[in-house]
Amino acid sequence: MDGRASAPAAGTVLNALACGTGSAFAIDAETTATVELDSSGSFDAEIADAPDADTTLIERCVELVVAEYSAEAGDEAAEISGGRVRTESEVPMAAGLKSSSAAANATVLAALDALGVADEVAREDACRLGVRAARDAGVTVTGAFDDASASMLGGVTVTDNESDELLAREPVTWDVAVWTPPEQAYSADADVARCRRVAPVAEVVADLALDGRYGEAMTVNGFAFAAALGFSADPMLEALPDVRGVSLSGTGPSFVAVGDTAAVEQVREHWSEREGTTWLTTTQNDGARTR
Ligand SMILES: Nc1ncnc2c1ncn2[C@@H]1O[C@H](COP(=O)(O)OP(=O)(O)O)[C@@H](O)[C@H]1O
Ligand SMILES: O=C(O)C1=C[C@@H](OP(=O)(O)O)[C@@H](O)[C@H](O)C1
């Protein structure tokens, strides 16, 4: 029983580490997972081009799908007790662009596809299973339902990460510039105490996002979390005032800027002079899909 699915990366509107409310938008770069279910009794995984990376998250995703849904999958699934998963990704790992959410969503959907039940499980529920796996694997602080829902559903989402509740979702059409410096920042290592200090600002950002003022929300978020997490705000000043919004994405180190084509192309010119990778993409409104 085999399955295959892809899920997109995302950028941040509001980092949930300060007040538990978060917001993110899907971008057009994706992770693909291939799952083979079997009766081996064990769950194994491989990440293409990253032989030393931690595979706990995606192994746990397959294990949870089998535990929750194999009973619904008919006689053929009765013998299933293990499986293999392999991911291939365009999303840089631990760069603030939600590689963990894209990997979890692609893996959960591929495992559901392997069981033949992908169309019967609501995407939001599939997403919550990946969030559970992320909590179990210890790769997240809040569960990151904000990032996971943006990746699974597409568009921009606003969520309560304490109750895993979707507060808003909307398709958005923006050009996006991304700068990824040549370092990594694992979410699990973030200085949560410093993030909580900017909670009053995060509450304002949440109100802006719930009002649909995503660009302004993002920019306020960017200044607050760059300060809290010790990143320079210079990349933001290089993008302002012409972009719709610009922010540190997640716990960094990437920055994302959104706006019209001319504005983000101008941002790319500036960010290209920095060390690391600068690229242009767009928002993605379809979310994860089986293939
Ligand atoms: N392509 C992938 N396949 C499997 N697991 C992945 C993949 N990309 C990321 N992960 C998991 O996500 C973790 C990084 O998560 P995190 O620090 O939150 O970074 P990000 O901001 O990119 O989501 C990795 O340690 C790994 O466990
Ligand atoms: O682990 C978490 O709970 C979160 C990590 C952050 O994202 P990154 O994983 O991109 O750093 C943040 O933006 C998100 O709102 C919540």
- Of all ligands present, the nearest one to the C-alpha of 184 is 1
Examine the pLDDT at 54 and tell me if it is beyond 90: yes
Protein residue with least CA distance to atom 19, ligand 1: 94
| pLDDT confidence of residue 103 | 98
For residue 74, the CA-to-ligand 1 centroid distance in Å is: 32
| Residues in the annotated binding site | 92-102
CB-side exposure of 136: number of CA atoms within 13 Å? 17
pLDDT band of residue 237 (cuts 50, 70, 90) is very high
Examine the pLDDT at 153 and tell me if it is beyond 90: yes
Ligand 2: which atom is nearest the Cα of residue 143? 3
| Residues in the annotated binding site for ATP | 92-102
DSSP per-residue codes, 238-270: HHTTTSSEEEE-TTSS-EEEEE-HHHHHHHHHH
DSSP per-residue codes, 55-109: -HHHHHHHHHHHHHHGGGG-GGGGG--EEEEEEEESSPTTSSS-HHHHHHHHHHH
Tell me how far CA of residue 181 lies from CA of 53, 192, 252, 260, 273, in angstroms: 19, 22, 9, 23, 11
The CATH architecture of the domain made up of 2-170 is 2-Layer Sandwich (3.30)
Place of tokens 């840089």: 92
d(CA 101, CA 107): 10
For residue 64, the CA-to-ligand 2 centroid distance in Å is: 22
SS3 46: strand
Mean pLDDT across 200-215: 98
* ipTM (interface predicted TM): 0.99
SS3 147: helix
Examine the pLDDT at 78 and tell me if it is beyond 90: no
User: Is 0.90 surpassed by the pTM of this model?
Assistant: yes
Domain ranges of the chain: 2-170, 175-282
Ligand 1: which atom is nearest the Cα of residue 48? 1
- Of all ligands present, the nearest one to the C-alpha of 221 is 2
Report the CATH number of the 175-282 domain: 3.30.70.890
Tell me how far CA of residue 103 lies from CA of 179, 203, 236, in angstroms: 21, 29, 28
Examine the pLDDT at 124 and tell me if it is beyond 90: yes
User: What DSSP designation does 186 have?
Assistant: -
Ligand 1: which atom is nearest the Cα of residue 147? 23
Q: Which residues pair with 168 in a beta bridge?
A: 158
Is there an atom of ligand 2 within 6 Å of 225 CB?
no
